[in-house]
Amino acid sequence: MSMSMSTSATIPRSDLLPSTTSTSSSSINSPSASPVISPIPSTASRSVASIAHVGLRTSSSWSSWSWSAYGIENLTPRNVPAALDTIIAAFSNDRFNRYARGEDMSLPPPAPSLLKRLYYTLALHWFINRKITLTTTSSGGHALLVAYPPASMARTGWRGVWDRIWGMGVDLVFGGISWGVGLFDSGRVKRRRAEIASKQKSAVSAVLGEREKELMYVHILATHPGYQGQGHGGKLLDAMSEMTDSIGMSSWLLSSGPHNVPFYEKHGYRVVGEIRMGGDDPDWEDGELIAPIMVRECRTPEKHDT
């Protein structure tokens, strides 16, 4: 999901929950306020060997990829406390996320409970283990990007078998935790999340169809307010785009609001559809919510030069 607000974020699938059943969950993407975009080094070596822990297939064309050439590194457990603060700060007052959390915009956003903080922490560890999870080196977790690679990037052979076994185990554990946390949700939260899931599934299916399975999904792009305006969000997004271009892959995301569209358009994304929510909710009085669906088509080296 791509959530945009002055605090960089993307729409999370119902309150930042990692999706253990489908990669069509919402994104939490949002740009930093007036970001300064740092250019991507054209001479950077390209490979996803540095993110092999996600279970991505490596090949000769990717063998020299290095995130460090972009000032980016994999998010590690050491960065999780900073990433947790970033997620909370970036989404605390975002309309889409407040709707998903069952809140009322006429009241100030409540501080997340200890249970929620623990759950978000576990979710970040789930992302680190199962998805592409990056941060800028200079922010140390205060700017992060989470992307869901398509199944076509899975490793093959015995490594692929091990990845699937490990993945099923991790998903089973976190799926159980997610189910347990969901038991404490109110009826309003469950109703709104069901609405989001249903409308998102039908809208994404109508716009992307089977192609969704072939695209990189940018699930979260968030920058802590204290680190905004320094180009962190743009650097993360451009590095991901450079990597997908190098392997001939396009990307998509779901923005948490139209206010984020100009930021994503600067980075090559275009609106291909939208999701509308909240208009019929009896407890929501802050107007209809619009979440644009955006796609960035793969660019060849020649297009980069033009």
Residue 133 clears pLDDT 50, i.e. is over it: yes
So what's the pLDDT on residue 138? 96
Return the domain boundaries, the chain: 28-305
Phi, psi of 131 (to 5 degrees): -130, 180
Residue % of the chain over a pLDDT of 70: 77
The answer to whether residue 3 scores a pLDDT higher than 80 is: no
Dist CA 125 CA 11 (whole Å): 19
For residue 208, give both structure tokens.
Answer: 């992307």
Q: With a cut of 80, say whether residue 5 has pLDDT above it.
A: no
Counts of helices then strands in the chain (DSSP H, E): 8, 8
Single pTM value for the model: 0.79
Q: Report the mean per-residue pLDDT for the chain.
A: 79
79-132 confidence digits (pLDDT tens): 999 999 999 999 999 999 999 999 999 999 999 988 889 999 999 999 998 889
Class of the 28-305 domain? alpha beta
Of 112-126, 158-172, 212-226, 281-295, where does mean pLDDT reach its minimum? 158-172
In whole angstroms, give the CA distance from residue 11 to residue 217: 12
237 compared with 160, residue with greater pLDDT:
237
pLDDT digits (tens, 9 = 90+) for 143-195: 999 999 998 777 778 877 887 888 888 888 888 888 887 888 889 999 999 99
